[in-house]
Amino acid sequence: MLGAISYDPIVKIELGPLGLSPHGIGIAVGFLAGAALMLRAAEKKGISEDAVYSILIRALIGSIIGARFAYVLNHFSDFESPVEILQIWKGGISLLGGIIGGIAVPCLWARRNGVSFWKATDAAAPGLALGIVIGRLGDLIVGDHLGKPTRFILGYLCPGASVDTASPCPPGVVVHQTALYDLLLTAVLLGLLLWLRRRDRFDGFLILTFGAVYGAQRLLEDFFREDVRRFGLTGSQWTASVAVLVCLYVLLVTRRTPAWGRWDEGAGAEPTMTPDEGEPEDKGEPEDKGEPEDDGETPEQLPDQEAADTETGD
Protein backbone atom coordinates (compact mmCIF):
# COMPACT_ATOMS: atom_id res chain seq x y z
CA MET A 1 0.00 0.00 0.00
CA LEU A 2 2.93 2.32 0.65
CA GLY A 3 3.91 2.02 -3.01
CA ALA A 4 0.41 2.64 -4.39
CA ILE A 5 -0.42 5.74 -6.42
CA SER A 6 -2.60 8.18 -4.52
CA TYR A 7 -4.26 11.45 -5.55
CA ASP A 8 -7.70 13.07 -5.52
CA PRO A 9 -9.41 12.87 -8.92
CA ILE A 10 -11.04 15.89 -10.54
CA VAL A 11 -14.31 14.61 -11.98
CA LYS A 12 -15.60 17.99 -13.18
CA ILE A 13 -14.20 21.47 -13.73
CA GLU A 14 -16.72 24.21 -12.89
CA LEU A 15 -16.53 27.29 -15.11
CA GLY A 16 -19.45 29.45 -14.00
CA PRO A 17 -22.61 27.73 -15.26
CA LEU A 18 -20.55 25.22 -17.26
CA GLY A 19 -19.24 21.94 -15.94
CA LEU A 20 -16.42 20.44 -18.05
CA SER A 21 -15.16 16.91 -17.70
CA PRO A 22 -11.38 16.37 -17.98
CA HIS A 23 -12.31 13.02 -19.53
CA GLY A 24 -14.14 14.74 -22.38
CA ILE A 25 -11.35 17.28 -22.78
CA GLY A 26 -8.81 14.46 -23.03
CA ILE A 27 -10.83 12.75 -25.75
CA ALA A 28 -11.17 15.98 -27.75
CA VAL A 29 -7.48 16.88 -27.48
CA GLY A 30 -6.51 13.31 -28.33
CA PHE A 31 -8.66 13.35 -31.46
CA LEU A 32 -7.13 16.64 -32.64
CA ALA A 33 -3.57 15.48 -31.97
CA GLY A 34 -4.20 12.21 -33.78
CA ALA A 35 -5.74 14.08 -36.71
CA ALA A 36 -2.65 16.30 -37.02
CA LEU A 37 -0.40 13.24 -37.07
CA MET A 38 -2.58 11.63 -39.73
CA LEU A 39 -2.44 14.69 -41.99
CA ARG A 40 1.32 14.48 -42.42
CA ALA A 41 1.29 10.74 -43.04
CA ALA A 42 -1.61 10.88 -45.51
CA GLU A 43 0.18 13.39 -47.75
CA LYS A 44 3.03 10.91 -48.26
CA LYS A 45 0.49 8.30 -49.37
CA GLY A 46 -1.04 10.58 -51.99
CA ILE A 47 -4.18 11.45 -49.99
CA SER A 48 -5.03 15.15 -50.23
CA GLU A 49 -5.59 17.39 -47.24
CA ASP A 50 -9.22 17.98 -48.27
CA ALA A 51 -9.79 14.23 -48.40
CA VAL A 52 -8.33 13.80 -44.91
CA TYR A 53 -10.62 16.51 -43.50
CA SER A 54 -13.64 14.79 -45.08
CA ILE A 55 -12.57 11.50 -43.55
CA LEU A 56 -11.96 13.04 -40.12
CA ILE A 57 -15.38 14.71 -39.94
CA ARG A 58 -17.06 11.38 -40.65
CA ALA A 59 -14.70 9.59 -38.28
CA LEU A 60 -15.68 11.97 -35.48
CA ILE A 61 -19.39 11.28 -36.03
CA GLY A 62 -18.80 7.56 -36.36
CA SER A 63 -16.67 7.34 -33.22
CA ILE A 64 -19.38 9.00 -31.12
CA ILE A 65 -22.08 6.70 -32.47
CA GLY A 66 -19.91 3.58 -32.21
CA ALA A 67 -18.68 4.36 -28.70
CA ARG A 68 -22.20 4.81 -27.37
CA PHE A 69 -23.73 1.92 -29.32
CA ALA A 70 -21.12 -0.58 -28.08
CA TYR A 71 -21.55 0.54 -24.46
CA VAL A 72 -25.34 0.32 -24.61
CA LEU A 73 -25.15 -3.10 -26.25
CA ASN A 74 -23.02 -4.43 -23.39
CA HIS A 75 -24.94 -2.64 -20.60
CA PHE A 76 -28.46 -2.65 -22.01
CA SER A 77 -30.06 -3.62 -18.69
CA ASP A 78 -28.73 -0.40 -17.12
CA PHE A 79 -31.07 1.77 -19.23
CA GLU A 80 -34.72 2.23 -18.31
CA SER A 81 -35.85 4.11 -21.42
CA PRO A 82 -34.72 4.89 -24.99
CA VAL A 83 -34.21 8.52 -23.92
CA GLU A 84 -31.45 7.48 -21.51
CA ILE A 85 -29.63 5.75 -24.35
CA LEU A 86 -29.30 9.09 -26.14
CA GLN A 87 -28.03 10.94 -23.05
CA ILE A 88 -24.37 10.35 -23.85
CA TRP A 89 -23.30 13.34 -21.73
CA LYS A 90 -24.20 11.32 -18.63
CA GLY A 91 -21.38 8.91 -19.38
CA GLY A 92 -21.04 5.42 -20.77
CA ILE A 93 -18.92 4.95 -23.89
CA SER A 94 -16.70 2.19 -25.27
CA LEU A 95 -13.25 2.98 -26.68
CA LEU A 96 -13.20 -0.06 -28.97
CA GLY A 97 -16.70 0.81 -30.20
CA GLY A 98 -15.49 4.33 -30.94
CA ILE A 99 -12.52 3.04 -32.93
CA ILE A 100 -14.74 0.71 -34.96
CA GLY A 101 -17.29 3.44 -35.65
CA GLY A 102 -14.59 5.97 -36.49
CA ILE A 103 -13.15 3.62 -39.10
CA ALA A 104 -16.43 2.25 -40.49
CA VAL A 105 -18.45 5.43 -41.08
CA PRO A 106 -15.94 7.15 -43.46
CA CYS A 107 -15.77 4.00 -45.63
CA LEU A 108 -18.72 4.90 -47.86
CA TRP A 109 -17.24 8.32 -48.63
CA ALA A 110 -13.79 6.84 -49.26
CA ARG A 111 -15.19 4.28 -51.69
CA ARG A 112 -17.16 6.88 -53.64
CA ASN A 113 -14.14 9.14 -53.89
CA GLY A 114 -11.54 6.50 -54.76
CA VAL A 115 -9.54 6.71 -51.52
CA SER A 116 -7.84 3.46 -50.46
CA PHE A 117 -9.15 2.14 -47.16
CA TRP A 118 -5.75 0.63 -46.36
CA LYS A 119 -3.69 3.71 -47.18
CA ALA A 120 -6.01 5.95 -45.17
CA THR A 121 -6.08 3.69 -42.11
CA ASP A 122 -2.30 3.18 -42.26
CA ALA A 123 -1.92 6.96 -42.15
CA ALA A 124 -4.34 7.06 -39.20
CA ALA A 125 -2.82 4.21 -37.14
CA PRO A 126 -0.14 6.20 -35.24
CA GLY A 127 -2.68 8.98 -34.71
CA LEU A 128 -5.09 6.48 -33.17
CA ALA A 129 -2.42 5.40 -30.71
CA LEU A 130 -1.54 9.02 -29.86
CA GLY A 131 -5.21 9.86 -29.34
CA ILE A 132 -5.62 6.94 -26.93
CA VAL A 133 -2.57 7.99 -24.92
CA ILE A 134 -3.88 11.55 -24.48
CA GLY A 135 -7.43 10.36 -23.84
CA ARG A 136 -6.21 8.05 -21.07
CA LEU A 137 -4.69 11.06 -19.32
CA GLY A 138 -8.25 12.35 -18.99
CA ASP A 139 -9.30 8.99 -17.53
CA LEU A 140 -6.56 9.22 -14.92
CA ILE A 141 -7.58 12.76 -13.91
CA VAL A 142 -11.20 11.75 -13.26
CA GLY A 143 -10.36 8.37 -11.73
CA ASP A 144 -12.06 6.22 -14.33
CA HIS A 145 -11.66 2.51 -15.25
CA LEU A 146 -10.64 1.48 -11.75
CA GLY A 147 -10.51 -2.27 -11.42
CA LYS A 148 -10.15 -5.13 -8.96
CA PRO A 149 -8.23 -4.96 -5.65
CA THR A 150 -4.48 -5.51 -6.02
CA ARG A 151 -1.09 -5.33 -4.32
CA PHE A 152 0.60 -4.19 -7.53
CA ILE A 153 2.93 -1.21 -7.12
CA LEU A 154 1.07 0.71 -9.84
CA GLY A 155 -2.24 0.18 -8.08
CA TYR A 156 -4.38 3.17 -7.09
CA LEU A 157 -5.23 3.92 -3.46
CA CYS A 158 -8.89 4.92 -3.37
CA PRO A 159 -9.46 8.27 -1.64
CA GLY A 160 -11.88 8.94 1.20
CA ALA A 161 -15.63 8.72 0.81
CA SER A 162 -15.89 12.51 0.45
CA VAL A 163 -13.85 12.49 -2.78
CA ASP A 164 -15.66 11.65 -6.01
CA THR A 165 -14.23 9.25 -8.59
CA ALA A 166 -15.59 8.52 -12.05
CA SER A 167 -15.86 4.79 -11.29
CA PRO A 168 -16.56 2.97 -8.01
CA CYS A 169 -13.57 2.92 -5.64
CA PRO A 170 -13.89 1.58 -2.05
CA PRO A 171 -12.15 4.07 0.30
CA GLY A 172 -8.71 2.91 1.45
CA VAL A 173 -8.55 -0.03 -0.99
CA VAL A 174 -5.78 -0.34 -3.60
CA VAL A 175 -7.19 -1.25 -7.02
CA HIS A 176 -5.88 -1.78 -10.52
CA GLN A 177 -5.71 1.47 -12.49
CA THR A 178 -6.32 -0.02 -15.93
CA ALA A 179 -6.33 3.37 -17.66
CA LEU A 180 -2.69 3.78 -16.60
CA TYR A 181 -1.80 0.33 -17.95
CA ASP A 182 -3.47 1.17 -21.25
CA LEU A 183 -1.65 4.51 -21.45
CA LEU A 184 1.78 2.95 -20.89
CA LEU A 185 1.26 0.03 -23.28
CA THR A 186 -0.23 2.25 -25.99
CA ALA A 187 2.71 4.66 -25.70
CA VAL A 188 4.97 1.71 -26.51
CA LEU A 189 2.66 0.80 -29.42
CA LEU A 190 2.86 4.39 -30.69
CA GLY A 191 6.66 4.20 -30.72
CA LEU A 192 6.50 0.88 -32.56
CA LEU A 193 4.17 2.24 -35.25
CA LEU A 194 6.31 5.34 -35.79
CA TRP A 195 9.36 3.10 -36.18
CA LEU A 196 7.63 0.65 -38.55
CA ARG A 197 6.37 3.37 -40.87
CA ARG A 198 9.93 4.46 -41.67
CA ARG A 199 10.10 1.61 -44.20
CA ASP A 200 7.75 0.97 -47.12
CA ARG A 201 5.46 -1.96 -46.40
CA PHE A 202 2.31 -3.31 -47.96
CA ASP A 203 -0.79 -1.14 -47.57
CA GLY A 204 -2.63 -2.10 -44.40
CA PHE A 205 0.45 -3.24 -42.48
CA LEU A 206 0.33 -0.45 -39.88
CA ILE A 207 -3.39 -0.60 -39.11
CA LEU A 208 -3.27 -4.40 -38.90
CA THR A 209 -0.31 -4.16 -36.50
CA PHE A 210 -2.29 -1.66 -34.43
CA GLY A 211 -5.30 -4.00 -34.38
CA ALA A 212 -3.25 -7.03 -33.37
CA VAL A 213 -1.20 -5.33 -30.64
CA TYR A 214 -3.90 -3.08 -29.16
CA GLY A 215 -6.42 -5.90 -29.28
CA ALA A 216 -4.01 -8.17 -27.39
CA GLN A 217 -3.33 -5.60 -24.69
CA ARG A 218 -7.06 -4.91 -24.20
CA LEU A 219 -7.68 -8.63 -23.97
CA LEU A 220 -5.14 -8.73 -21.12
CA GLU A 221 -6.12 -5.47 -19.38
CA ASP A 222 -9.80 -6.30 -19.09
CA PHE A 223 -9.05 -9.23 -16.78
CA PHE A 224 -8.20 -6.57 -14.17
CA ARG A 225 -11.42 -4.61 -14.71
CA GLU A 226 -14.77 -4.76 -12.97
CA ASP A 227 -17.22 -5.05 -15.85
CA VAL A 228 -20.11 -7.10 -17.23
CA ARG A 229 -18.86 -10.47 -18.47
CA ARG A 230 -20.46 -12.90 -20.88
CA PHE A 231 -19.07 -16.41 -21.01
CA GLY A 232 -16.15 -15.27 -18.89
CA LEU A 233 -15.09 -12.27 -21.01
CA THR A 234 -16.14 -8.63 -21.29
CA GLY A 235 -17.65 -7.26 -24.49
CA SER A 236 -14.35 -5.51 -25.22
CA GLN A 237 -12.45 -8.78 -24.82
CA TRP A 238 -14.68 -10.58 -27.31
CA THR A 239 -14.25 -7.72 -29.79
CA ALA A 240 -10.50 -7.62 -29.20
CA SER A 241 -10.20 -11.39 -29.70
CA VAL A 242 -11.80 -11.20 -33.15
CA ALA A 243 -9.59 -8.24 -34.11
CA VAL A 244 -6.41 -10.04 -33.02
CA LEU A 245 -7.24 -13.21 -34.97
CA VAL A 246 -8.14 -11.36 -38.18
CA CYS A 247 -5.13 -9.03 -38.05
CA LEU A 248 -2.66 -11.81 -37.27
CA TYR A 249 -4.02 -13.94 -40.10
CA VAL A 250 -3.33 -11.19 -42.66
CA LEU A 251 0.04 -10.25 -41.15
CA LEU A 252 1.41 -13.78 -40.76
CA VAL A 253 -0.43 -15.89 -43.35
CA THR A 254 -1.47 -13.83 -46.40
CA ARG A 255 1.16 -11.09 -45.86
CA ARG A 256 -0.30 -8.77 -48.46
CA THR A 257 -2.94 -6.08 -48.81
CA PRO A 258 -6.44 -7.59 -48.75
CA ALA A 259 -8.37 -7.32 -52.03
CA TRP A 260 -11.22 -5.44 -50.34
CA GLY A 261 -10.85 -1.70 -49.81
CA ARG A 262 -8.49 -0.89 -52.68
CA TRP A 263 -10.80 1.85 -53.85
CA ASP A 264 -8.01 3.84 -55.45
CA GLU A 265 -7.72 0.95 -57.92
CA GLY A 266 -11.30 1.10 -59.23
CA ALA A 267 -13.13 -0.46 -56.30
CA GLY A 268 -10.74 -3.38 -56.30
CA ALA A 269 -11.94 -4.78 -59.60
CA GLU A 270 -9.63 -6.40 -62.11
CA PRO A 271 -8.71 -3.94 -64.89
CA THR A 272 -10.65 -4.48 -68.09
CA MET A 273 -8.97 -4.54 -71.50
CA THR A 274 -9.86 -1.59 -73.70
CA PRO A 275 -8.77 -0.86 -77.29
CA ASP A 276 -5.72 1.36 -77.59
CA GLU A 277 -6.24 4.89 -78.85
CA GLY A 278 -5.97 5.03 -82.61
CA GLU A 279 -6.43 1.26 -83.03
CA PRO A 280 -9.62 -0.17 -84.47
CA GLU A 281 -11.93 -1.93 -82.02
CA ASP A 282 -12.14 -5.71 -82.45
CA LYS A 283 -15.69 -6.48 -83.56
CA GLY A 284 -15.33 -10.18 -84.21
CA GLU A 285 -14.08 -12.07 -87.24
CA PRO A 286 -12.55 -9.88 -89.98
CA GLU A 287 -14.66 -9.48 -93.08
CA ASP A 288 -13.70 -11.45 -96.16
CA LYS A 289 -12.70 -8.83 -98.70
CA GLY A 290 -11.74 -11.25 -101.39
CA GLU A 291 -8.34 -11.98 -102.89
CA PRO A 292 -5.49 -9.55 -102.23
CA GLU A 293 -4.53 -7.28 -105.07
CA ASP A 294 -1.71 -8.36 -107.32
CA ASP A 295 1.31 -6.34 -106.28
CA GLY A 296 3.61 -7.91 -108.74
CA GLU A 297 4.97 -10.59 -106.44
CA THR A 298 4.38 -14.24 -107.00
CA PRO A 299 3.52 -16.69 -104.23
CA GLU A 300 6.99 -18.21 -104.58
CA GLN A 301 8.45 -14.95 -103.27
CA LEU A 302 6.46 -15.28 -99.97
CA PRO A 303 6.81 -17.88 -97.19
CA ASP A 304 4.76 -20.94 -98.14
CA GLN A 305 2.10 -20.79 -95.44
CA GLU A 306 2.02 -16.99 -95.20
CA ALA A 307 1.25 -16.69 -98.91
CA ALA A 308 -1.79 -18.88 -98.49
CA ASP A 309 -3.11 -17.09 -95.40
CA THR A 310 -2.41 -13.41 -96.28
CA GLU A 311 -5.46 -11.18 -95.61
CA THR A 312 -5.96 -7.45 -95.71
CA GLY A 313 -6.42 -5.46 -92.46
CA ASP A 314 -3.62 -7.19 -90.45
pLDDT, averaged across the chain: 85
Q: pLDDT band at residue 78, thresholds of 50, 70 and 90?
A: confident
The answer to whether 142 and 159 have CB atoms below 8 angstroms apart is: no
Identify the CA nearest to 130 among candidates 11, 246, 41.
41
pTM of the model: 0.80
Q: pLDDT band at residue 4, thresholds of 50, 70 and 90?
A: confident
Task: Give pLDDT, residue 130.
Answer: 98
pLDDT higher than 80, residue 314 = no
Query: Is the model more confident about 117 or about 286?
Result: 117
Query: Is the model more confident about 77 or about 126?
Result: 126
Q: Is 69 left (phi over 0), alpha (psi -120 to 50) or beta?
A: alpha
pLDDT higher than 90, residue 142 = yes
Question: How many angstroms separate the CA atoms of 86 and 63, rounded?
Answer: 15
**Segment 56-80 mean pLDDT:** 88
Question: How many angstroms separate the CA atoms of 137 and 147, rounded?
Answer: 17
Q: Hey, what amino acid is at 242?
A: V
Helix (H, G, I), strand (E, B) or coil at 266: coil
Helix (H, G, I), strand (E, B) or coil at 12: coil
Question: How many angstroms separate the CA atoms of 209 and 196, rounded?
Answer: 10
**Segment 108-128 mean pLDDT:** 96
Query: Is the model more confident about 82 or about 10?
Result: 10
- pLDDT, tens digit, 9 for 90 and up, residues 275-284: 343 444 444 4
Question: How many angstroms separate the CA atoms of 146 and 60, rounded?
Answer: 26
pLDDT higher than 70, residue 153 = yes
Identify the CA nearest to 260 among candidates 128, 121, 129.
121
Lowest-pLDDT range of 41-50, 156-165, 268-277, 293-302: 268-277
Q: pLDDT band at residue 80, thresholds of 50, 70 and 90?
A: confident
Lowest-pLDDT range of 26-30, 73-77, 110-114: 73-77
Question: How many angstroms separate the CA atoms of 240 and 242, rounded?
Answer: 5
Task: Give pLDDT, residue 241.
Answer: 96
Burial of 101 (0-12, 13-18, 19+ CB in 10 A): buried
Q: Indicate if the alpha-carbon torsion angle 297, 302, 307, 310 is positive or negative.
A: negative
Task: Give pLDDT, residue 245.
Answer: 98
- pLDDT, tens digit, 9 for 90 and up, residues 158-186: 999 999 999 999 999 999 999 999 999 99
